[in-house]
Amino acid sequence: MNPLPGDIFARRLRQERDRLGISQAELARRMAALLGANVDSTRLTRIEQQTRAVRLDEAVTAAEALGVPLITLVSDNYARENEAQIQNQLAELALAEQEWEKLRQRIHRITRTIQQLSAEREAFRSHALDVDPETADDYKLGAETQAALDARMRGACNKPAGEVTDPDA
């Protein structure tokens, strides 16, 4: 049979107190300060011994005084579930980082190809100027294409080595 939340609370209250190294009297003092009312340490003794049920306001205040979420005091599964969620998120993050790295490399390859094609086009244009100046304009990019290329290359040149321009920027 699964333990009742009150049983779990009593055990977890003591565990958290012990973890922090504080006495029942110290916890009672902290709770009293938060509640603005007297809290006798014998009340905590009886709660931990399960001879007295904990009231909701006491449970909430005890958690706050201990600096833990209330769920920590009422669930044995919280830590395992929390760790499982963290592990799942770490795995998802690792996959996202792998995807990002693949995209970053793809962006870098495309950027290099654009730079190479632009350099080749400029070399043809330069050669055409020497050979037949009237055909040099055949190798000029359209105004919109040139503006987009200039903006992209300006962004790529301002990045640290290995970093490429964000395609969504």
What's the pLDDT tens digit per position in 79-120?
666 677 788 888 999 999 999 999 999 999 998 998 898 888
Question: Do residues 59 and 70 make contact, with C-beta atoms less than 8 angstroms apart?
Answer: yes
Domain that holds residue 144: 93-157
76, 107, 135 - which closes a domain: 76
Q: pTM higher than 0.85, yes or no?
A: no
Q: How far apart are CA 42 and CA 2, in angstroms?
A: 27
Q: How many CB atoms lie within 10 A of CB 136?
A: 16
Last residue of a domain, one of 76, 106, 130: 76
Q: Are residues 69 and 99 in the same domain?
A: no
Structural domain count, the chain: 2
CA 119 to chain centre: 41
* Token pair of 154 as six digits: 């300006």
Structure tokens of 66? 């201990």
The pLDDT tens digits for 18-40 are: 999 999 999 999 999 999 999 99
| 102 shares its domain with 132 | yes
Same domain, 9 and 56: yes
